[in-house]
Structure 1
Amino acid sequence: MINNIQVEKRLPRNGKEGIIFLLIISIISVNTIAPIIMGLELGFSNEVYVETLKIIPFMWVIVVVLVSLVAEPVVGKVMPKLIEQTDGFNARVLLNILLHVTVLSILLTIIGNWVGTKQISVEPFQNFFHAWPRNFGVAFWIELLIAQPIARFAMKKLHERQDSKREIVDF
């Protein structure tokens, strides 16, 4: 008997898959967003790119921690207030990306500056309203067009492979 509720293949179904999903998105995001923002801030050059590569491991850890401890809880509380049962998958994904990028870009506009300059200062606060919209825009489009689609595609392929193995066993 076929279940009327379609199981979503493009999203993680358990904690292990959630970790894989987070790893895919965070690795793509940190390795694209950080170099673009640094290039826009300091100019696109080999020297700037090499300096960016040196901070990427630290930024990746920070991003994973912020997603897990800050963005997920905040977005988890806000999403149910903004969505309806009738909202489709794409609307939910778009809102989810918008909320996550908003929270993370606000925090990382400040923290990323501190990590990049290797000092805690008030400078990111002084330049916040100049830097944050640019950082948000870069992060939003990378998430929307690159990182999230790749992660959802990976989940879809993983679930298709799992489903085909189940069909063989059920046969």
Structure 2
Amino acid sequence: MHQEKRLPRNGKEGLLYGALISTMTVLFMTTFSIIYFAGEFNGEIAFTILKTLPVMWIIVMIIEPAIFGRIAEALTAKFTKPTDSFNSKILFRILFTVLGMSAAMTLIGDIVGNGFHPELFSSWLQYWPRNFIIVLAAESLVIQPIARFAMVKLHEAHDKKAGLAAAPQVQN
């Protein structure tokens, strides 16, 4: 039976896969947003990124699998057939996940960075479309392919190790 090597096969691999994607996305978007608003990169900006990164990563690691990942799976199942290609299914999954996560994280990121303020929702309306397009491109073209490549390499290493363990031992 053919097993998909590009996706996680168990919970431990799923956690690794999700952590890779979340880490790259949070690092990319946190850095992009802070530099975009500051207009330059310096030591103070780097420190702000390092402070913000763990908070945003924890938030993403909680809400993606608990909320938006489940919604994306359901919507992907609704818009695709079992016979559709891996690429079409993964593209729908990316689209729906990024749609929800970018909407939530644009709001949450503003709250984490600036606290509650009167312009919170108007700034969300201004920045969410930009964030959605940027993350959709980054996820589709760079982040997801890197994470899937990591899964392929992990599965190849596991398969090779299993093959060596299953091979008969020759004694001299």
TM-score, with normalisation over the residues of structure 1? 0.90
TM-aligned CA distance change 1:123 to 1:49, over 3 Å: farther
2: distance between equivalents of 1:78 and 1:30? 24
SS at 1:105's partner residue?
helix
Q: Does 1:51 align with 2:44?
A: no
How far has the Cα of 1:124 moved from its partner?
Answer: 2.7
Q: Secondary structure at the match of 1:127?
A: helix
Q: Which moved more, 1:8-17 or 1:126-135?
A: 126-135
In structure 2, the partner of 1:153 is 149
Distance 1:167 1:69 in 2: 36
SS of equivalent residue, structure 1 residue 13: coil
**How far apart, CA to CA, are the structure 1 residues paired with 2:67 and 2:144?**
19
Distance 1:152 1:50 in 2: 30
Give yes or no for the alignment of 1:72 onto 2:69. Answer: yes
Write the mapping of 1:131-142 to structure 2, written as runs, cut at 5 A. 131-142=127-138
Deviation at 1:25, TM superposition (A): 0.9
Of the two, which has the highest radius of gyration? 2
The Cα shift of 1:113 comes to 0.1
Question: How far off its partner does 1:122 sit?
Answer: 4.1
Match of 2:84 among 76, 83, 87: 87
Aligned position for 1:61: 58
2:170 alignment partner in structure 1: none
**1:15 matched residue in structure 2:** 11
- Number of residue pairs matched by the alignment: 166
Q: Distance in 2 between matches of 1:153 and 1:30?
A: 19
Give the 3 Å change call, closer, same or farther, for CA 55–132 of structure 1 in structure 2. same
Does residue 132 of structure 2 align to residue 143 of structure 1? no
Instruction: Give 1:37's aligned residue.
Output: 33
Q: TM-score, normalised by structure 2?
A: 0.89
**Is the contact made by 1:109 and 1:124 (CA closer than 8 Å) also made in structure 2?**
no
Give RMSD over aligned pairs. 1.5
Query: What letter matches 1:165 in structure 2?
Result: K
Runs (4 or more) in structure 1 with deviation over 6 Å come to none
